[in-house]
Amino acid sequence: MDRPLTRNIHADRRPIDLRGYRDNGGYEGLRVGLGLSPADCLQRIKDSNLRGRGGAGFPTGLKWSFVPMGEDCSPGHKYLICNADEMEPGTFKDRLLLECDPHQLIEGMILAAYTIGADVAYIFIRSEYHIAAQRLREGIVDCEREGLLGDNIQGSGYSLHMHVHASAGRYICGEETALISSLEGKRANPRAKPPFPQVSGLWGRPTIVNNVETLSNIAHIIERGPQWFNDLGLTEDAGTKMYGVSGRVKNPGCWELPMGTPIRTVLEEYAGGMADGYELRGFLPGGGSTDFLTADHLDLAMDYDTIGKAGSRLGTGTLIVLDDATCPVGFVKNLMDFFAQESCGFCTPCRDGLPWSAQVLDDIENGQGKPEDLDTLERQVEFIGAIGNTHCALAPGAMEPLQSALKYFRADFEAHINQGCCPWKARQ
Ligand SMILES: Cc1cc2nc3c(=O)[nH]c(=O)nc-3n(C[C@H](O)[C@H](O)[C@H](O)COP(=O)(O)O)c2cc1C
Ligand code: SF4
């Protein structure tokens, strides 16, 4: 099985340095890419059908094509930003790529920046990812020394300066326009779109924000071609995917597998199935802000369209498993507490609605719920969950686990209200 993203990652998770990376064929994609025009590089990424791995699955080549290029672009800086914030609950795929193979990301970023004509690139990294940040900084210095970054890269005439910027540590900093505000030194509030960052982003200049996993794919696609990348996927979606599983399974972890691998294969073959004594009740397929799916969905392909049609989202592709010994109300309440705390406070439905939802869930979990609370939660799901009622996707995302829990685990909510206690706690 071809696993381009993790080919340099070993079980002991020791990082690969510049020398080791080059010995294993690294920076060959850069050599190929710098020999092509930016337009040819863009065409390769478009033809590869790579979709952004940050959660929304937006086509990467299409996004890049919105950046004004050539005569369309007024003189001045253009920016590339790698989104390495990774604060989505249950998501730890980017960390592996950042810590173990920093040069794969750096090489992909140089090629992405070359394609869109950016002269400055930032890696905006989660504040807790100290090890990854250090390895990236060392990698950048090594590249500068070898002429792979800085002025006139490899004699090509193209120059790029790259910097690592640690986040101040809020989930909203991962939203691309809030990230840009934060990088500018402002409060991390999301911005209205349009204008989109591709046209007016960092300091009002054309800016591309891409996820770590997205950018880690770029050098491979440039070097090995779009058809190779398309052929990696098992379904319509191209490439491989970093899948992860957390919760009460035998072998929680993170694996690179062909895009479209069945959920059952990820859960049973790679995560080893449920831990002894526990049954599967459901799972969030792509991090904490996706809708629950259940055992009935296990044979679905883990790709963007299939999971979307099943009523959820592929999101980050990292499953969070709900087992039969865990209270689904408490599970959802825990997530709602997180999202309420992480609201940037800019718009009322999110700032006030999420703590209200968390309080109603807290009441139900603690045996003080009333039958009408379920109607309140349904109304909040409908209003706060509607795209367009809030300024960014944090609030609708926060509603996804709740709305699907009310659909699949409604009897559990009712049991709490009818019995005046949490049945799981009562059993302990
Ligand atoms: C609240 C919130 C948090 C987000 N956090 C991240 C994150 O940590 N990493 C990430 O890549 N994308 C995150 N996103 C998505 C980004 O806004 C953006 O779509 C993504 O970085 C684009 O990269 P891609 O096209 O490569 O997927 C978040 C979105 C929202 C609404
Ligand atoms: S939805 Fe929440 S996080 Fe997003 S802008 Fe509104 S208050 Fe801020």
Rounded distance, CA 334 to CA 10, Å? 34
Residue nearest to atom 25 of ligand 1 (CA): 52
Rounded distance, CA 358 to CA 305, Å? 31
Peptide bond into 349 cis (omega under 30): no
What is the rounded average pLDDT for all residues in the chain? Answer: 96
177-201 pLDDT tens trace: 999 999 999 999 999 999 999 999 9
- pTM for the predicted model, two decimal places: 0.97
**Which CATH code for domain 328-427?**
1.20.1440.230
Residue nearest to atom 8 of ligand 2 (CA): 344
138-177 pLDDT tens trace: 999 999 999 999 999 999 999 999 999 999 899 999 999 9
Grade residue 405 by pLDDT with cuts at 50, 70 and 90: very high
Q: Residue 213: CA atoms inside 13 Å, Cβ hemisphere, count?
A: 30
Q: Using a 6 Å cutoff on CB, does residue 354 contact ligand 2?
A: no
Stretch 298-322: mean pLDDT, rounded?
97
Q: Which of 58, 167, 182, 211 to mutate to test the pocket of ligand 1 (most atoms within 8 A of CB)?
A: 211
Residue with tokens 């993170």: 254
Number of Cβ within a 10 Å radius of residue 244 = 24
Ligand at minimal distance from the CA of 92 is 1
Burial 334-350 (b: 16+ CB within 10 A, else e): bbbbbbbebbbebbebb
Rounded distance, CA 8 to CA 6, Å? 5
Q: Using a 6 Å cutoff on CB, does residue 390 contact ligand 2?
A: yes
CA dihedral (267, 14, 105, 237) in degrees, to 10, reads -20
Distance 51 CA to ligand 1 centre (A): 13
Rounded distance, CA 27 to CA 103, Å? 8
353-395 pLDDT tens trace: 999 999 999 999 999 999 999 999 999 999 999 989 999 999 9
Ligand at minimal distance from the CA of 393 is 1
How many Å separate Cα 88 from the centre of its chain? 7
Q: Using a 6 Å cutoff on CB, does residue 347 contact ligand 2?
A: yes
Q: Does residue 303 have a pLDDT over 80?
A: yes
* CA-to-CA dists, residue 285 to 36, 88, 96, 161, angstroms: 38, 12, 19, 37
3-state secondary structure of 80: strand
| Region of 319 on the Ramachandran plot (φ > 0 left; ψ -120 to 50 alpha; else beta) | beta
Q: Which of 116, 198, 209, 354 to mutate to test the pocket of ligand 1 (most atoms within 8 A of CB)?
A: 209
227-253 pLDDT tens trace: 999 999 999 999 999 999 999 999 999
Q: Using a 6 Å cutoff on CB, does residue 188 contact ligand 2?
A: no
3-state secondary structure of 110: helix
Q: Cβ(270)–Cβ(245) under 8 Å?
A: yes
Question: Is domain 4-232 classified as CATH 3.40.50.11540?
Answer: yes
Nearest to 97 by CA among 131, 73, 127, 122: 131
Ligand at minimal distance from the CA of 317 is 1
Ligand at minimal distance from the CA of 346 is 2
H or E element at residue 371: helix 371-384
Domain 240-323 is of which CATH architecture? Roll (3.10)
Cβ < 6 Å from ligand 1: which residues?
52-56, 58, 63, 83, 85-88, 171-172, 174-176, 209-211, 214, 392-394
Distance 227 CA to ligand 1 centre (A): 27
Q: Does residue 428 have a pLDDT over 80?
A: no
Grade residue 75 by pLDDT with cuts at 50, 70 and 90: confident
- Got the DSSP string for 387-426? TTSSSSSHHHHHHHHHHHHHHHSHHHHHHHHHHTS-HHHH
Distance 368 CA to ligand 1 centre (A): 37
Beta strand 253-258 with 161-166 is unpaired
Grade residue 72 by pLDDT with cuts at 50, 70 and 90: low
Q: Residue 65: what are its φ and ψ, rounded to 5°?
A: -70, -15
What tokens appear for 421 in the block? 């206690």
* The predicted structure's pLDDT at residue 16: 94
DSSP alpha helix (H) spans, 15-169 = 18-23, 28-34, 38-48, 60-65, 93-100, 102-116, 130-145
Distance 176 CA to ligand 1 centre (A): 6
Q: Does residue 87 have a pLDDT over 90?
A: yes
Domain residue ranges of the chain, discontinuous segments joined by + = 4-232, 240-323, 328-427
